Amino acid sequence: MAHKQIPLEALINLRHRLDGLPSRCQERRILIEETAALYGVSTDTLYRTLRNSSRPKSINRSDSGVPRKLSLSEMERYCEVIAAMKIRTSNKKGRHVSTVRAIELLEKFGMETPDGFVQPPKGMLTRSTVNYYLKAWGYDNERMTRQPPAVRFQAEYSNSCWHFDLSPSDLKHVKQPSWVEPGRGNPLLMLYSIVDDRSGVCYQEYHCVYGEDVEAALRFLFNAMTAKTTDGFAFQGIPEMIYTDNGPISKSHVFQNVMDCLRINLVTHMPAGKDGRRVTARSKGKVERPFRTVKEAHETLYHFHEPESDVEANLWLRQYLLHYNDKPHRIEPHSRLEDWLRNIPKSGLRSMCSWERFCTFAREPQRRKVGTDARVSVEGVAYEIEPDLAGETVVLWWGLFDNELYVEFDDQRYGPFYPVDGPIPLHRYRKFKKTKTEERADKIADLAKKLGLPRAALDKNADLQFLVDKYKELTPTVTPFNDPDPYQEFTYPTVLFAKRAISDFLAKPLAKLSPEQLAFIDVLLAETLNKKVIIERVRSYFHSHSCGEQNAH
């Protein structure tokens, strides 16, 4: 008997007619019976056909996403091992072992894991299946090496955190550098930059250096912390923290010693690979953005007029920084410099010390053995130190900006000592070799040489006066510099040293003094250890007593 089949069009027409009738209606049953009789089928068959025609068919299999050859736990374990093999074999260029090679190694040799030895049967794993489950379960290499989300931060007050970095200028060299080291060619024009984390205020300078130079970095930081002579630029003060990279400057003992003396917390980026998948130098955008802005908006004008020296380049750069710091803040509705002035700490700014005092902080420790003639040599210059230190191994604290030398032995410092053969020359100069004139290649090059830009665009802008008046009302509060005195130049280290100095000043042992005089000295040393105060009060006290005794006679 042939199987009777109802046409699909008739089923669709019947369903539309049934949808127009209410449920449990007599007309629905009559319609079903008439249609079943028309096609020679029973009502049950018609109802069953209607149900099957409206049921959606699944695109995937019922066991989709579930391994068929292996159990779910076994397949997940193999995927974990293969994903770990890819991470273990990755290099800096992102190359790693392939899925096919990982399966081959597992099937042939196996792999030792903390949970035991893993070796799947041969032919059980295939490349397509493993790659499918690696991506479906989140074990693919892209997700396993993805960085965690970045966290934005911003200081609460001005000068709480400074970002420090340097970048080679696009100009590379100047025709007349400030100094040239013989035999090393023309120095590189480097751009040093400080950016305040809270306000985004930027201070930059050009320096001609050979690589990352610590001396130039310290000179730049001193200029950044001192009060500026430029009108309308009140940026100054000692910051609480400096954030920089792990370059030669931050690793220098001289640089670290200066930061300690100024009570600046020096924080560097974590070395690469020390914090898992996180890139350790992601927080450099605040200091890198001004570099790009200066190179695109300011240094591109050097094609019209090149600065003759780094001094002239710094003069032009200061004019541009006034415009840059007057631009809007990244969040607040005012300028960067105004934000810096509005968010100064309640305690005020820490003012910078003098240049002479700053030079005493920049001393580099070196371990040397003193000669039998009580002399040591530093870079070809001889210093004569204490005779008691002859033949001893001492630590030399040599000034980076001066010729003074301090010596440390058994936690005691001696000095300052000066060269016995005269001071060394600070720099040597030579004439810069002139470059050849470029030939005119084509019409465009000839037109570029004939273009002219008024020098006033770089030398001085007459429209900057409004910046001076704008920030006159907002004056920062400045606190005096707190001198740490690391070399005990102004204070005695202990009471014993102070008593020795008093004895030398009086030219007599303290044991020969009267009980009243000894009591005066004890009270004085309990109050202060300042060298100047102690000597003045001792001089005044003993002078008055000597005059009183003469009058009594």
pLDDT digits (tens, 9 = 90+) for 3-31: 678 888 888 888 888 888 888 888 888 89
- What is the rounded distance in angstroms from the CA atom of residue 207 to the CA atom of residue 216? 7
pTM reported for the whole predicted model: 0.66
Does residue 31 share a domain with residue 96? no
Provide the mean pLDDT of the chain. Answer: 82
Amino acid at 80: E
Does residue 371 share a domain with residue 247? no
What's phi and psi for 415, nearest 5 deg? 130, -175
Does residue 258 share a domain with residue 389? no
- Asked if residue 387 belongs to a domain, the reply is yes
In this prediction, residue 512 carries a pLDDT of 86
Query: What is the span of the domain harbouring residue 524?
Result: 495-552
245: tokens are 């990279």
- Asked if residue 105 belongs to a domain, the reply is yes
9: tokens are 């069009």
Looking at the predicted structure, is the pLDDT value of residue 451 above 50?
Answer: yes
- What is the rounded distance in angstroms from the CA atom of residue 352 to the CA atom of residue 3? 102
For the residues of 326-343, what is the DSSP string, one character each? TSBPSSSSSBHHHHHHHT
- What is the rounded distance in angstroms from the CA atom of residue 409 to the CA atom of residue 429? 38
Does residue 177 share a domain with residue 140? no
Looking at the predicted structure, is the pLDDT value of residue 347 above 80?
Answer: yes
In this prediction, residue 143 carries a pLDDT of 84
- Asked if residue 435 belongs to a domain, the reply is no
pLDDT digits (tens, 9 = 90+) for 147-174: 777 778 888 999 999 999 999 999 888 8
**Do 481 and 350 meet the contact criterion of CB atoms below 8 Å apart?**
yes
- What is the rounded distance in angstroms from the CA atom of residue 396 to the CA atom of residue 404? 10
Q: When comparing pLDDT for 466 and 262, which is higher?
A: 262
- Asked if residue 466 belongs to a domain, the reply is no
Does residue 104 share a domain with residue 214? no
Pairing of strands 265-268, 241-244: parallel
- Asked if residue 284 belongs to a domain, the reply is yes
The number of distinct structural domains making up the chain is 5
- Asked if residue 388 belongs to a domain, the reply is yes
Domain harbouring 298, CATH code:
3.30.420.10
Query: For the residues 530-534, what does the mean pLDDT come to?
Result: 87
Does residue 344 share a domain with residue 216? yes
- Asked if residue 535 belongs to a domain, the reply is yes
416 preceded by a cis bond (ω within 30 of 0): yes
Closest CA to 171 of 191, 149, 198: 191
